[in-house]
Amino acid sequence: MSRARLTTSGVELITDSDSIERLVRCGEVLSCALAEARSAVQPGVIPNQLSSILEDRFGREGAMPSLLGLRAVGAEPFPAVASVSVNRIAVNGVPGNDPLKLGDVITIDAACKLDGMIADAACSIAVGVLDHALIHAANSVLQTVLESVVAGAPLRQLEESARNAAIRFGVDLADEAIAHGVGRGLHMPPAVFLDGVEPEPDGVIRAGMVLAIEPVVVESISGGGGVVACRTAVDGWSRIAPGLAAFEERTVLVTENGPRVLTEIPPLVIPAA
């Protein structure tokens, strides 16, 4: 059975008011950019257009895209401002030029840097479909995990919360990150993964941590609650799941009173086709 892999060394806490204010502003810019891109989703739109919307918004706000040019072992630098994952692409989808179709499930994922701070967030939508079970599950699993972000609790609690929610909502989890540190960098400790690697000793959630929470859900054929393996596409980035996949991601600041969501993205109400 896959287990969460925890990395806790080198955690940086953000507690001073100036840094928090700058982080809040960065989160607001990212949230607005994602909402603008999501509102443009309709049949016939191409994923590259959605990435361009984010690029334009970042430019207007003075923010720098954090995904463009991102490097990973065995892959060319990421070629776009946003990742747009369509249908079975679970995460890291390289946006292309194939028009979106009615019913496609897509996740738009982006990060930006503003005044020395970085926020990371994503939102999912089914093209032209008002009520989609997988999108509902992605939101519900995220909200459940957010409720488990409690100062003093073990990081492993995030993984347990995601598993329990996946069972409740009848979906599986992709073997990807559930959470990672962000703030002064894009991918920082602490991190919690579902990848089958034996975990390090448990870390603890601490006030001042800035976390990107991003459980990835996958359509289940076995009733839900399992952890399914993804494979990497030939582009070196896109991770392919065995079924339809989606995720919602939010950057949060851990406080003594719970998580403060810095990239709030309101639900989108669209007319049914």
Domains assigned to the chain: 4-261 (3.90.230.10)
State residue 199's pLDDT score.
47
SS3 state of residue 29: helix
State residue 8's pLDDT score.
54
Task: Read off the pLDDT of residues 184-225 as tens digits, 9 standing for 90 and up.
Answer: 999 998 888 886 554 455 589 999 999 999 999 999 988 888
CB atoms within 10 A of CB 252: 22
Counting Cα atoms < 13 Å in the Cβ hemisphere of 211 gives 32
Cα(198)–Cα(196) distance, integer angstroms: 6
Q: Is the pLDDT of residue 269 over 70?
A: no
State residue 1's pLDDT score.
31
Handedness of CA 54, 55, 59, 62 (dihedral sign): positive
Model confidence band, residue 142 (pLDDT cutoffs 50, 70, 90): very high
Tell me the whole-structure pTM to 2 decimals.
0.93
Counting Cα atoms < 13 Å in the Cβ hemisphere of 109 gives 27
State residue 3's pLDDT score.
39
State residue 4's pLDDT score.
43
Tokens 């896109």: give the residue.
Answer: 238
